Amino acid sequence: MPRQTGDTPATSSAKRKRSPTDGNHASVQDGISTPGSNTPVPVGKAPLRKRIRESEVRPSKRARSPLTSSQRPAQREPSPPRSPPAAAPRKRPGAGARIDAAARQAVEDRRRQREEEDRRQIAARNSNDLVATHYNMVPQRGRDWRKTDSSIRGLRSFNNWVKSALIQKFSRPDIPVQNLLVLDIGCGKGGDLQKWQSAPQVPALYVGIDPASTSVDQARGRYQEMQRRQRGPRRRPLFDAHFFAQDCFGQSIGNLPIIQQVGFDPHAGPSANGNIMGRMARGGFDVVSMMFCLHYSFESEDKARGMLKNVAGALKKGGRFLGVMPNSDVLRTKSGDSKEGGKVHPSEPTNGNAGGDDSWDPEKPADAAVTEKDTNGTAKKTAEVPALEWGNTIYKVKFPPTRALPADGVFRPPYGWKYFYFLEEAVDVPEYVVPWEGFRALAEEYGLELQFRKSFAEVWEDNKGDRELGPLADRMGVRGQDGRFSVTQEEMEAASFYHAFCFYKI
C-alpha cells in the first residue's frame, strides 16, 4: 500500500509529543535527522511510528440510527370501498337503439352538409377560374385591327356606342358633385376607359376590378398609354385610376384599401325581417358599372346576392348602378320558337351538379348518349330533350340537351340556368340566364330601384338622332360617311340579344 505522506485525523494521535528538551530541534520527518542525532534517518523508515494501513486511515461509516416515531412516514389509511355508480334510468326496450340511430343520422347529416358546402365552394372557385382563364387567353388586338380586320366590326362598334350612350345619359348625378367617383366591376381589358374620359363629367377617381389578372394588367397598360397621350395644355385632365384583380361575386370588395377609403357599407342588403339595411349617409361611389358580366353571377343565389351586396355596399345614396347583359325575354321567345311543338320535359336547374349540364361538352355531338343510374345502380339512358339552339353565322345560343326549359317560360328558381353563347372573336364560356323580373325583385331587396331598361335596338332608335349621341355614332363607325347604318342584319340580330339597364340606390 502507498505510504501516507500527510497527517490525517486517524494519524494525529500516533505523532510523538514534543518534550521541553526538544527545544528547536525538528521533528522526525522523512529524510531529516532526529532530535539529538546528526544522523539522517533514511526515507521510508520512521522509528517510533507504526505504518498505518489504508484500512485504518479510511473513516468508518456512521451507523444509522433507527427512525423515531416522529420521523417515520405516516401510514396511509385504507380508503373506503367505492360505491357502485348510480344505475342509469332504464329505457323501454329498443329506445337506446333508436337514440343511437338518430345520433348517427345527425352526424351523417352534418357530414353531408359539410361536403355539400365544400363542393359548392370548389365549384364556385372552379367557375370563377374558368371565366378568368378564358378571358386571359383572349389575344390583345389593337384598335386598328378592330376597325379593319375584324369580321364583326359593325357589331363591335354598335355595342361600344350603346355603352357610351348609357354612360352619357346616366353617369352624371342629378345633384352635381365636385368629384365623380366611378367603380367598374368587370372592367376587363379597360375597353371603357376612353368612354369615361369622354363622359359629360370626367371622373375624379376610377376603380376597375376584374377576376382575370391578365386582363387587369392590360387595362393598366391601356391607362398608362392614355397618360402618355394626355400630355398637352388643351387636353382634358385624365382621371386617377386604380386596378385590382379580384372576384366580385364570391368575395367582398370591401377589403380593398381604395374601396374602404371611398366608403363601403358591409351591412347593405335585406335584414332578417326583410328591411333594407346599410344606407350610408356619407361616402360611397356615384356610379357602379357592370358591362357584359352580370350574367355570370346568376350561376347561384349566393353569387347573385354577393354581387348585389358589393354593388349596394359601394354605392352612395342616390348613386346609379348601370350596365348591359343578355335579355331573358329574348331567351324565352327564341327557346319557345325552337321547341316547334316538341314535348316539354320537367326540368330543374342543375347548379353544376354531377350528371347535369356541367357534364355536357359543346364540342361533342348534341345527340351524344347521356346516362344516369336507376334505383338499382344500373346505368340507363336518360330521356333527352330536343336540342335548343338558334343563331346565325355570327352568333349561336345552345342549351344543353340534358334538360328542358320551363314550359311557361318562367325560370324558377331564377338561378343556375346555363347555356352556351358562341360569338365570332369572343370568349366562349358558359353563361347563365338572368330572369329579368327575378333580378329586379332581388335588386329591390338591396335598395336598388329600376330607372331605365331597354333593348339595344330600342336604345338605337331612341338616340340615333340625339345631338350628341348621333354624331358619336358617326365617329364610332356605327353609321358610314353616307349616313347609312353600318351594322349588318346578322350583327343586329346578335346585338338584340342584350339590353341596357340603370338602377339608383334609394
Handedness of CA 213, 214, 218, 224 (dihedral sign): positive
CA distances, 200 to each of 59, 165, 286, 315, 468 (Å): 112, 11, 14, 20, 10
Strand ranges inside 211-254, DSSP E: 240-245
The grid coordinates listed for 248 are 366580385
Give me the half-sphere count of Cα atoms (radius 13 Å) on the Cβ side of residue 211.
23
CA distances, 231 to each of 204, 225, 237, 242 (Å): 17, 11, 9, 19
pLDDT for 368 beyond 50: no
pLDDT for 352 beyond 80: no
Instruction: State the pLDDT confidence band at 80, using cuts at 50, 70 and 90.
Output: low
Return the amino acid letter for 199. Answer: A
How wide is the angle at C-alpha 181 spanned by C-alphas 266 and 431, nearest 5°?
A: 65
Mean pLDDT of 421-429: 77
pLDDT digits (tens, 9 = 90+) for 166-204: 999 999 998 889 999 999 999 999 999 999 999 999 999
> Bigger pLDDT: 423 or 347?
423
pLDDT at 505: 96
> Bigger pLDDT: 502 or 402?
502
Q: 11-42 burial, b for 16+ CB within 10 Å, e for fewer?
A: eeeeeeeeeeeeeeeeebeeeeebeeeeeebe
pLDDT for 276 beyond 70: yes
pLDDT for 391 beyond 70: yes
pLDDT digits (tens, 9 = 90+) for 150-160: 789 999 999 99
pLDDT for 235 beyond 70: yes
Whole-number Å distance between alpha carbons of 125 and 122: 5
338 CB-contact burial (10 Å; exposed 0-12 / middle 13-18 / buried 19+): middle
pLDDT at 213: 95
Query: Among 145, 147, 134, which residue's Cα sits nearest to residue 423?
Result: 134
pLDDT at 122: 57
The grid coordinates listed for 38 are 546528526
- List the chain domain ranges: 126-327+435-505
Mean pLDDT of 347-354: 43
pLDDT for 89 beyond 80: no
Chain mean pLDDT for the chain:
77
Q: What percent of the chain has pLDDT over 70?
A: 61
pTM: 0.67
CATH number (3.40.50.1820, 3.90.1150.10, 3.40.50.150, 3.40.50.970) of 126-327+435-505 reads 3.40.50.150
pLDDT for 3 beyond 50: no
Query: Among 187, 194, 261, 195, which residue's Cα sits nearest to residue 217?
Result: 187
pLDDT for 299 beyond 50: yes
Mean pLDDT of 53-57: 52
Query: Among 332, 349, 461, 352, which residue's Cα sits nearest to residue 408?
Result: 332
Whole-number Å distance between alpha carbons of 410 and 332: 8
The mean-pLDDT minimum among 32-36, 162-166, 429-433 falls in 32-36
Mean pLDDT of 213-227: 96
Tell me the backbone φ, ψ of residue 503, rounded to 5 degrees: -115, 160
> Bigger pLDDT: 245 or 48?
245
pLDDT at 439: 98
Tell me the backbone φ, ψ of residue 228, rounded to 5 degrees: -70, -35
pLDDT for 135 beyond 60: no
Instruction: State the pLDDT confidence band at 8, using cuts at 50, 70 and 90.
Output: very low
pLDDT at 366: 35
pLDDT for 145 beyond 70: no
CA-only gyration radius of the chain, Å: 46
How wide is the angle at C-alpha 424 spanned by C-alphas 422 and 426, nearest 5°?
A: 75
